[in-house]
Amino acid sequence: MKITRVETFLVPPRWLFCRVETDDGVVGWGEPVVEGRAEVVRAAVDVLAEYLIGKDPARIQDHWQVLSKGGFYRGGPVLSSAVAGLDQALWDIAGKAYGAPVHALLGGPVRERARVYAWVGGDEPSALAEQVAAQVDAGFTAVKMNAAGVTSPLTTLAETAAVVERVAVAREVLGAHRDVAVDFHGRLTPASARRVLPELAPLHPLFAEEPLLPDQARLLPGLVAASSVPLATGERLYGRADFLPALTAGIAVAQPDLSHAGGITEVLRIAALAETYGALLAPHCPLGPIALAASLQIAWVTPHFLIQEQSRGIHYNKEADLLSYVVDTEPFRFTDGHAHRTDRPGLGVEIDEAAVRAADRRGHAWRNPVWRQPDGSFAEW
């Protein structure tokens, strides 16, 4: 079997899909994207595709080496995300060619269902309570929320209290047997994080995500020691070597993104590395159905998997949502807060190619907002 064609599709709300075709007629799909920089990743996929044309798609490990390292310069969000999407597509092809789900090719499943969480936004506490209640009604046992908006360099007493109050509202609705995770998006300075996390500890969050920026991993040991709140990070880390400082620092939860961190091939290695540090795995995935299908393949084969992010109804999903481009929604039917394993071949997702091609003609130009402090200076989003 040989790869004959690689195409990319810029589809709303903010995604990029790739389609890898073979001379046997087997087609694999991947999702190579950096949110807000999709066009840049598309160009990177085009360059990497030059190498793949004419190659045997089954040599995934070798292709990963060449695509990741063969250009001399390596790593970073753009290249690692381009490799990630192509890697997903190659695993999809391998599964379809062998008539087996990817999890079977990886040694077989270790679980029947995978816990997933839902996003809640709601800047106002009353709206937040309603949104958490709606997710509980939908069967979810865990939600994730942003902790705060633009935050002062050193959080004021009011800002710290507002973070705690929002989480307290969610906790009140959830009760003691469900979970709330809190995403800081790197908006806190190290001193603010040391101030805020101990205040949150009594509310028992599942984890606090990106309390610091990813380039501040050297400061994580102090933050791990500062409170009992489990720390999570990883959506802006792109390979094993990027995760090592955070794991060494004692993070509780590693969050590689299947569409950023080199795909299934590299996330398996990150998972193995995390296991040696006693860290749990919770792949980042505010993305589309292919990225989620790839994430779930990891969930099926990873013993120390904790929970999976998924984007259904997330605030970014305007114009299209998780199910807009799939023929069969069954793999994404969540009951009792869990996704259920299927044994469909490949990644297990059937893409509506006509819908994807039509959406690509519309395209998108999604960009994240640029935030400012009240004095006009840049603020982390």
Minimal distance, residue 234 CB to Mg ion, in Å: 9
Q: Number of residues in contact with Mg ion, rule: CB under 5 A?
A: 2
Minimal distance, residue 286 CB to Mg ion, in Å: 8
Minimal distance, residue 183 CB to Mg ion, in Å: 4
Closer residue to Mg ion, CB minimum distance, 31 or 350? 31
To which residue do tokens 């709206």 refer? 127
Which among 91-99, 187-195, 203-211, 365-373 is the span making contact with Mg ion, rule CB under 5 A? 203-211
Minimal distance, residue 145 CB to Mg ion, in Å: 11
Closer residue to Mg ion, CB minimum distance, 94 or 307? 307
Determine the Cα–Cα distance for residues 96 and 90; give it in Å rounded to an integer: 10
Which among 50-58, 202-210, 215-223, 361-369 is the span making contact with Mg ion, rule CB under 5 A? 202-210
Minimal distance, residue 210 CB to Mg ion, in Å: 5
User: With binding defined as CB under 5 A, does residue 183 bind Mg ion?
Assistant: yes
177 is catalytic: no
Quick note: the x/- pattern for Mg ion over 273-312, rule CB under 5 A, is ----------------------------------------
Write down the catalytic residue from 63, 103, 185, 364. 185
Which among 56-64, 106-114, 167-175, 209-217 is the span making contact with Mg ion, rule CB under 5 A? 209-217
Residue nearest to Mg ion (CB): 183
63 is catalytic: no
User: With binding defined as CB under 5 A, does residue 35 bind Mg ion?
Assistant: no
Closer residue to Mg ion, CB minimum distance, 159 or 183? 183
Query: Per residue, what are the HEC states of the chain?
Result: CCEEEEEEEEECCCEEEEEEEECCCCEEEECCCCCCCHHHHHHHHHHHHHHHCCCCCCCHHHHHHHHHHCCCCCCCHHHHHHHHHHHHHHHHHHHHHHCCEHHHHCCCCCCCEEEEEEEECCCCHHHHHHHHHHHHHCCCCEEEEECCCCCCCCCCHHHHHHHHHHHHHHHHHHCCCCEEEEECCCCCCHHHHHHHHHHHHHHCCCCEECCCCHHHHHHHHHHHHHCCCCEEECCCCCCHHHHHHHHHHCCCEECCECCCCCHHHHHHHHHHHHHHCCCEECCECCCCHHHHHHHHHHHHHCCCECCEECCCCCCCCCCCCCCCCECCCHHHCCECCEEECCCCCECCCCECHHHHHHHHHHCCCCCCCCEECCCCCEECC
Which among 8-16, 78-86, 204-212, 354-362 is the span making contact with Mg ion, rule CB under 5 A? 204-212
Closer residue to Mg ion, CB minimum distance, 31 or 209? 209
**CA angle, 31 as apex, 83 and 257 as ends, to 5°?**
75
Minimal distance, residue 104 CB to Mg ion, in Å: 31
Closer residue to Mg ion, CB minimum distance, 31 or 183? 183
Write down the catalytic residue from 260, 284, 338, 364. 284
- Give CA separation, 27 vs 22, 215, 365, in Å: 6, 38, 27
Closer residue to Mg ion, CB minimum distance, 87 or 209? 209
Which among 95-103, 177-185, 192-200, 294-302 is the span making contact with Mg ion, rule CB under 5 A? 177-185
Active site residues: 185, 284
Binding site for Mg ion (CB under 5 A): 183, 209
